[in-house]
Structure 1
Amino acid sequence: MKVALVHDWLVTMGGAERVLETLAHMYPDAPIYTGVLDRSRLSPYLQQRTIYSTFVQRLPRAKRWYNRYLPLLMYGFEQFDLSRYDLVISSSAAIAKGVLTRAETVHVSYIHTPMRYAWDLYHDYHNREAKGLTRRLMGPVFHYVRLWDRLSADRADVLVANSHTVQQRIRKHYRRSAEVVFPPVNIDRFQPAPHPGDYYLVLSRLVAYKRVDLAIEAANALGIKLVVAGDGPERERLARLASRHVEFVGAVDDEKASALMTGAKGLIFPGEEDFGIVPVEMQAAGRPVIAYGQGGVKDTVIDGKTGVFFDRQEIDAVIAAIRRAETITWDSQAIRQHTEQFRPAVFETRMAQIIQTALDGR
């Protein structure tokens, strides 16, 4: 059986790329098709794989501006000739699901989310972040993007969602059903320490929708120590908000991130994510998560047992959640045990079952 893997773009190693890496281990001979490739930013395993990119790869600054080339990428994915494959597995948060396959080919698409900047967050991006010509062009361009995105979702035979939140978005925007398979998380990177440290942690890209400002303002008000790990366009603004209790350590590698999680009292997670691997990793380190109770954390955090939810993205709600977390005696081993369901082996078993059912149905 000939198998191909498809992924939106390969310019960093985030959670979606970890999913692709696990799929690549499941199908070691399968080539990978992607929009834009920066091989130097990938894991050693993915660097060794056969990877094909679209013509957008040759356009100016494509490795940085790939989002700006979205309409061209849509066209580029349709030009991939996948006619010789029996099985195509796409990993899609944007356009990978839009490849064209033969009627006899089984296409299973793992959906990280319908494009949030085209659907749920369109008005946030348009009104708050887009400027100048970009803002003026967003209306007509994204009208086309939404039409293409909806039609492309029908090209896959089976859709798989990474969380129940994404499952609901798929039902809303694509009018299709999807099974839920949680992404793989390498929980063995973490071993719970016997005693927590003296600081809370934020580990995130510093962009507006992550709402890191709420964690900083809450730390300021409570006078508690907060370590902010990560970088992004919001860093200067956030640094101006911070009191002396807040420390910015910049972008960190996996080893440093693991050490920060293991040594923290807990993770503050004030944004809404489709799934959110960092909260799972924090729990694998035996530490609780203080999170805005929407999105993927509803699948990954148990309120009162492995973390605490707050129901509004407001400073007083975050403060109340931190105070509540301070009153709970946390069982680090029980928190860790909760993350066993997110092991890569569980992901591989569930995906293999879904794929085999789709092949049998052919």
Structure 2
Amino acid sequence: MRELQLPGRTVLVHDYLNQFGGAERVLETMHALAPHSPVYTSMYEPDAMPEEYRKWDIRPTWIDRLPGVRTNHQLVLPVYPMAFERLRVPECDLVLSSSSAWAKMVRPPEGAVHVSYVHSPMRFAWAFDQYCERERLPAAARNGLRPLMAAFRWRDRATLDRVDRFVANSTVVRDRI
């Protein structure tokens, strides 16, 4: 059986690399399919990620340079959409994004195909009340964040046309998309 490889001019995009979980395991699989591809992300905390990532071509956005952002990334929540929308990926054939929030908002270069693996639509925006309960946010924080979550939902819808194909890991996620 032949080993599958993605086109040589593939770019990977991932929300953030400051914790390791299921989304990062998916990114590892994507990277194995396109091992020479750069990985664009909002931030990268090498100490929080597997050692193997240090061999990758990881290119964080300007968010990565903000003080304290790697440990308190929620503090800059309002600027994530802007960072990904303004991200300029190089000329390529395929943009492959791994997203639970922002990565799918990237603008692919003209002529490139954008395939987005969506782990889940941004739960904190689309299921805000459940998110607040789980995180035990006080009422004042909930009320203060409601307009921001409405803006995130609007932006999420407005950027859907940047993706040529969505991939979901379940019918539940597919239906949420």
TM-score (norm 2): 0.89
Pairwise CA distance, 1:158: 0.5
Q: Deviation of residue 71 (structure 1)?
A: 2.1
Number of aligned pairs? 169
1:73 aligned residue: 80
CA distance in 1, matches of 2:153, 2:16: 19
Q: 1:167 aligns with which of 158, 171, 174?
A: 174
Residues 164-213 of structure 1: per-residue CA shift (max 9 Å, x gap): 1101111xxxxxxxxxxxxxxxxxxxxxxxxxxxxxxxxxxxxxxxxxxx
State the Cα deviation string for residues 233-254 of structure 1 (Å, max 9, x = none).
Answer: xxxxxxxxxxxxxxxxxxxxxx
Q: 2:56 is matched with which residue?
A: 49
The alpha-carbon deviation at position 145 of structure 1 amounts to 0.6
Give me the whole-angstrom Cα distance separating, in 1, the residues matched to 2:11 and 2:133: 39
Structure 2 unaligned blocks of 5 or more: 1-7
Query: Which one of the candidate residues 121, 136, 147 is aligned to 2:143?
Result: 136
Partner of residue 124, structure 1 = 130
Letter in 1 for 2:131: Y
CA-CA distance at 1:125 after TM superposition = 3.1
Rounded to whole Å, the distance in 1 between the matches of 2:123 and 2:159 is 15
**Matching of residue 101 in structure 1 with residue 88 in structure 2:** no
Look up the match of 2:13: 6
Q: Distance in 2 between matches of 1:81 and 1:102?
A: 8
Other-structure match for 2:3 = none
Inter-partner Cα distance in structure 1 for 2:163 and 2:64: 25
SS of the residue 1:30 aligns to: coil
Root-mean-square deviation (CA, aligned residues, Å) is: 1.6
- TM-superposed deviation, 1:136: 2.9
Q: Which residue of 2 aligns with 1:218?
A: none
Is structure 2 residue 118 aligned with structure 1 residue 111? yes
Q: Distance in 2 between matches of 1:82 and 1:59?
A: 21
Contact 1:110 1:159 in 2 (8 A): yes
Distance 1:127 1:40 in 2: 30
> Highest Rg: 1 or 2?
1
Pairwise CA distance, 1:11: 0.7
Take 2:59 and 2:172, find their aligned partners in 1: how far apart are those partners? 32
2:27 corresponds to 1:20 = yes
SS at match of 1:4: strand
Select which of 25, 46, 60 maps to 1:39.
46
What CA distance in whole angstroms lies between the structure 1 residues aligned with 2:27 and 2:75?
Answer: 23
Structure with more relative contact order (C-alpha pairs < 8 Å, separation 6 or more): 2
Aligned ranges 1:274-289 → 2 under 5 Å: none
| Structure 1 residue 64, shift from structure 2 partner | 1.9
TM-aligned CA deviation for residue 157 of structure 1: 0.5
How far apart in 1 are the matches of 2:151 and 2:116?
A: 22
Q: Post-superposition shift, 1:3?
A: 1.0
- Report the 3-state secondary structure (helix = DSSP H, G, I; strand = E; otherwise coil) of the residue aligned with 1:24: helix
Unaligned runs of 5+ in 1: 171-362
Residue identity (%): 38
In 2, are the aligned partners of 1:126 and 1:138 still within 8 Å (CA)?
no
